[in-house]
Structure 1
Amino acid sequence: MTTRMRAVSQRVFGGPEVLELVEVDRPSPGPGEVLLRVRAAGVNPADWKVRSGLIRPFEPPFTLGLDVSGVVEELGAEVDGFRLGDAVFGLLLSPAGAYAEYVVIPVQALAPLPPSLDHVQAAALPVAALTAWQALAELRPGQRVLIHAAAGGVGHLAVQIAKARGAHVIGTARAEKHAFLRDLGADELIDYTAVDFAAVVSEVDVVFDLVGQGYATRSLATLKPGGLVIDAMGSEQDLADADGFRIVRFHVSPSGKDLEQLTGLVEAGKLRVFVDQVLPLEQAAKAHELSETQRVSGKIVLSV
């Protein structure tokens, strides 16, 4: 069995050109971890933000990749619930990420692959679906929710999760994305390039901000008294003003249990993940270029 593998690494922060296909030692799982043979890795906006140095959870050299789908190749000590050869998917927070042929991941972050999904579709789910699922956990039937960037990787899943929880869903997106979002269940759609959403939307219970750039603060004008803005971009400070409005920053957490809940929605036909493009591992730089346009519908996935 070979002890080397291919991975996409970077030695410095910078543009997509800093991503290099290299050969490195294959990792070994520790207690509570499994080694996956990677079949597909999702590409997220967080990836290019870390690559460029815009956010710095760790210093180079590192391998990007939060979303992973693959097959269990080796079990570390104290691992229960999975066997060699199991198809699984999960969210990985590590400087040794999923843009690689093999990756080590904590067993608590993994869930069995949904029977109706292949590895590419499954690799598009963890970050985006967990973000929407966890951020909208308190959403109640009948509430009005405004989702910004509704056609994006997180947004198109948030629309479906909010609908599954019985909410009335309003989304902001370019006009050419509206048919796509109506098909996913959105009730009202706003072309943010043509009108100011804050002037035409009102009586909202929850705003889910996936844009940043001041959207969270601007969205306060759309809220009912006591309404909530969930800032998934980390661009605003937590805020509770005199009118009772709240802005709360949200950060996603790996959770195999939450992924299993999402699998239930997938198998019930209530959650569909849309993959915009699939590229081979060695074209990670091109995937980042596409992601940085912020015009992608759904997700970009690297096939390994």
Structure 2
Amino acid sequence: MMKAVVIENYGGSEVFAEKECDIPHIRDTQVLVEMRATTVSSADQLIRSGTFRQFMPTQFPHVLGVDIAGIVVATGKKVTRVQTGERVLAVSRTGGGYAEYVAVEECDLAVIPQSLSDAEAASLSASGMTAWLSLFHYGKLQPGQRILIHAGAGGVGHLAIQLAKQHGAYVITTAQAHNHPFVLQLGADEVIDYTTTDFAETLSPVDVVLDMVRDPDVDKVTGIGLTELKNYNILKDNGTFISLVNPAIAKHPLIRGIDAQFALITPGAGDWEAFIQWIQTNKLDIHVDHVFPFTGQGVAEAHEYYDTRNKRGKLVIQRDSIHR
């Protein structure tokens, strides 16, 4: 048996509870990972709150946690890329990170560079891969292009700024005033305070938009919100609009040739290899805002903090560990 922190319904931080659960059985293509650190991601929040209930229906009790850093304790018969005892970072597409053990497909993990701590590796797994695939797979970002990255101080945003800047793009981001020095240090060329300024009224056209802002109110027919409409307005003809929060964007009628996509993060072995090589070649500032204990109360407090939107970088949930 193992300890897990589950949600028993949709709602706020009050829906978490500690449970004793069976340790997952792994298939031939899977790896059993002993979790050392996980995070609060936007996917966890969207599922927990019920915002994604139509897109990702959930059976309760459910274990959240898409970011994982841990140690391989067992491998399936067809697994060849990792061995027991290795430290890995992983993306669990179905959750499961808020537990002592999680089964992960081999294609969804990579060996952790020794320079990274468990907290940094967990912060980098889903968020880093999300930023990577959003920019280079979905966005096909090119050097010299202008990109608007919303929520630049967030878990995905603060990594996307660095990746885009290192790739040679001109980076514009949105952030609250107290986060302006942070995002400028990461490499942003321009920053807009979204609490006082309408980005759609101040920006000249951009080639790419990466959107992580979920509109609280959307059109009942189209499913599109005000922020998304403004994104269209500031994009050049034939530009690229990548949303991490609204699947409806991909079904919206074509506007001025803009390629609007909802980014489904499904990395393959080649993506992990390229991403890890980039990390080892280019220094990334992986910012951990706060570390919470792996308890029911700790997980609830982490989600409560996430909901305030006052975080910078990632919120980590970590088990007591002798490992880095």
TM range (shorter): over 0.9
Runs of at least 5 residues in structure 1 that lack an aligned partner in the other structure? none
1:294 and 2:309 matched: yes
* Secondary structure in 2 matching 1:37: strand
Instruction: For residue 256 of structure 1, report the CA deviation from its aligned partner.
Output: 4.2
Structure 2 residue 26 is the aligned partner of structure 1 residue 22: no
Give deviations 1:105-133, integer Å, cap 9, x for gaps.
Answer: 11111100012101111001122111111
In structure 1, distance between residues paired with 2:304 and 2:260: 31
1:187 paired residue number: 189
1:100 aligns with 2:110: no
Change (3 A) 1:85 1:201: same
1:42 maps onto 2:39 in alignment: yes
Residue 143 of structure 2 aligns to which amino acid in structure 1?
Answer: P
The letter of the residue matching 2:28 is P
C-alpha distance in 2 between matches for 1:197 and 1:25: 49
Show structure 2 runs of 5+ residues with no match.
Answer: 216-225, 320-324
Deviates more, 1:161-170 or 1:9-18: 9-18
SS in 1 for 2:249: coil
Q: Match for residue 68 of structure 2?
A: 68
Structure 1 residue 240, shift from structure 2 partner: 5.3
- Is 2:246 the partner of 1:231? no
Q: Which one is further off, 17-26 or 238-247?
A: 238-247
2-side partners of 1:206 and 1:81: how far apart? 35
Residue of structure 2 equivalent to 1:218: 230
User: Which of 276, 282, 285 is the matching residue for 1:269?
Assistant: 282
CA distance in 2, matches of 1:98, 1:233: 20
Distance 1:236 1:297 in 2: 28
Partner amino acid for 1:202? S
Identical columns (%): 40
| Counterpart code for 1:212 | R
Change (3 A) 1:256 1:66: farther
Question: 1:241 deviation in Å?
Answer: 4.2
Q: Please say if residues 291 and 300 of structure 1, whose CA atoms lie closer than 8 Å, have aligned partners that are also in contact.
A: yes
Paired residue for 2:146, among 144, 147, 160?
144
Matched letter for residue 233 of structure 1:
V
Alignment of 1:48-197 (within 5 A): 48-56=45-53, 57=56, 58-94=58-94, 97-137=96-136, 138-197=140-199
Cross-structure match for 2:223: none
- 1:131 and 1:167 mapped to 2: Cα distance? 18
- Can you list the C-alpha shifts for 1:74-101, whole angstroms capped at 9, x where unaligned? 1121111211101111100225x01011
Partner of 1:199, secondary structure, is: helix
- Maintained 8 Å contact 1:126/1:259: no
Quick one: distance in 2 between partners of 1:25 and 1:90? 21
SS of the equivalent of 2:165 reads helix
The 8 Å contact of residues 65 and 92 in structure 1, kept in 2 or not, is answered as yes
Tell me, yes or no, if the aligned pair for 1:6 and 1:100 is still in contact at 8 Å: yes
Q: Is the 8 A contact 1:164 1:270 kept in 2?
A: no
Deviation at 1:50, TM superposition (A): 1.3
Query: What is the letter of the counterpart of residue 22 of structure 2?
Result: D
- Structure 1 residue 181: deviation in Å? 0.7
> Could you list the runs of 4 or more consecutive aligned residues of structure 1 that deviate by over 6 angstroms after TM superposition?
none
How many residue pairs get aligned? The number is: 300
SS of match in other structure, 1:136:
helix
- The one-character-per-residue Cα deviations of 1:139-193 (angstroms, maximum 9, x if unpaired) are 0010000111111111111101111221000011111111111111111111112
Amino acid at match of 1:102: Y
Instruction: Give 1:236 deviation, angstroms.
Output: 4.4
* Aligned partners of 1:237 and 1:247 also within 8 Å: yes
Structure 1 letter corresponding to 2:229? T
1:55, distance to aligned residue in structure 2 (A): 1.6
1:263 partner amino acid: I
- Change beyond 3 A, Cα 1:193–1:86: same
